[in-house]
């Protein structure tokens, strides 16, 4: 159902403008300008925004005729609606955000197409649930139950009413996806590299070198002295190629190397 298909119940016209990265979701002809839309009686802000393909989780502030309003606001003829994305640096105190307060502890659940991004996030220490068997219903329920932000390339998933925190990944490239997530959730100061199992997402425990003797390759035992173990799958970790690879990846993505180096001796 669209907001303009029943001509007998049209209430009037509203004017909408989307700012910054919200334009990524719009056809080029609609970007960075006022959009005129007809609407039906009872249409809410959430409905008209998502009718244009923008998940409500991408929106942080909506001004109707210069007043902040909630998603449940019902449109009136002639309304001028300004829709803003999540703010990272701009102070909007005094206005009412349409989204709940930010999560104090950022945890993620990812859809089936983001396996490599999941691995990268776990390497950096971000609690990230993933299974290639998850259905959209399961992801939505996990997000609500555990207060996890959903990462997905499926706009439809983020439009579900029960979802409060999420982000629609724009890129198809895992490196660029990682850069998007770090920037979007302001995670540069929250790295805790190699604290989680890349397979189970469980917190690793430190083990003595003697405890892994005969388990890790002989050359590893010779050159490395610090080891961690997953309490669930028993996988052993050390600061080897994965560490060097992620350090190079972050440098390639133009993140400050010192942020990473500060964790080298954690």
User: pLDDT by residue (tens digit) across 201-253?
Assistant: 999 999 999 998 889 998 898 889 899 999 999 999 988 877 778 778 777 77
Closest alpha carbon to 126 in 206, 186, 60, 205: 186
Tell me whether residue 149 is in a domain: yes
Tell me whether residue 260 is in a domain: no
Residues 243 and 124: their CA atoms lie apart, in Å, by 10
Residues constituting the chain: 266
CB–CB of 74/42 below 8 Å?
A: yes
| Among 70, 85, 100, residue at a domain's last position | 85
The percent of residues in the chain predicted with pLDDT above 70, rounded, is 85
Higher-scoring residue by pLDDT: 34, 241? 34
The DSSP 8-state label assigned to residue 254 in this structure reads T
Residues 129 and 142: their CA atoms lie apart, in Å, by 9
User: pLDDT by residue (tens digit) across 92-136?
Assistant: 555 566 666 555 578 999 999 999 999 999 999 999 999 999 999
- Whether the full predicted model's pTM is greater than 0.85, yes or no, is no
Do 187 and 222 sit in the same domain of this protein? no
Closest alpha carbon to 162 in 177, 179, 145: 145
**What's the chain's average pLDDT?**
85
Q: Which two tokens stand for residue 139?
A: 């992801």
Domains in the chain, number: 3
Task: Give, in order, the Cα–Cα distances in Å from 164 to each of 42, 104, 122, 170.
Answer: 22, 14, 22, 19
CATH number of the domain that residue 18 is part of:
3.10.20.30
Tell me whether residue 115 is in a domain: yes
| CA 130 remoteness from chain centre | 13
Q: What's the average model confidence in pLDDT over 163-180?
A: 92
Tell me whether residue 80 is in a domain: yes
User: Phi and psi for 256 in degrees, rounded to 5?
Assistant: -60, 120
Do 42 and 75 sit in the same domain of this protein? yes
CB–CB of 163/143 below 8 Å?
A: yes
Tell me whether residue 64 is in a domain: yes
Question: What domain range is 67 assigned to?
Answer: 7-85
Q: Is residue 255 scored above 70 in pLDDT?
A: no
């Amino acid at each position: 159902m669209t907001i303009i298909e029943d001509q007998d119940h049209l209430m009037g016209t509203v004017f909408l403008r989307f700012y910054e990265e919200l334009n990524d979701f719009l056809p080029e002809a609609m970007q960075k300008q006022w959009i005129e839309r007809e609407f039906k009686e009872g249409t809410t802000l959430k409905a008209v925004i998502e009718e244009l393909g923008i998940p409500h989780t991408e929106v942080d502030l909506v001004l109707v005729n210069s007043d902040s309003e909630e998603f449940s606001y019902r449109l009136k003829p002639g309304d001028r609606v300004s829709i803003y994305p999540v703010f990272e640096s701009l102070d909007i105190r005094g206005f009412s955000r349409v989204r709940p307060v930010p999560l104090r502890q950022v945890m993620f659940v990812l859809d089936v197409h983001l396996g490599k991004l999941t691995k990268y996030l776990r390497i950096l220490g971000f609690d990230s649930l993933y299974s290639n068997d998850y259905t959209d219903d399961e992801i939505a329920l996990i997000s609500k139950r555990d207060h996890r932000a959903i990462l997905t390339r499926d706009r439809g998933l983020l439009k579900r009413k029960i979802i409060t925190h999420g982000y629609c990944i724009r890129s198809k490239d895992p490196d660029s996806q990682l850069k998007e997530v770090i920037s979007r959730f302001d995670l540069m100061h929250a790295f805790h590299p190699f604290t989680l199992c890349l397979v189970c997402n469980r917190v690793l425990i430190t083990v003595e070198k003697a405890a892994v003797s005969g388990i890790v390759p002989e050359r590893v035992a010779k050159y490395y002295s610090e080891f961690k173990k997953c309490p669930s799958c028993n996988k052993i970790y050390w600061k080897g190629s994965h560490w060097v690879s992620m350090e190079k990846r972050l440098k390639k993505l133009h993140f400050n190397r010192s942020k990473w180096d500060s964790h080298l001796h954690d």
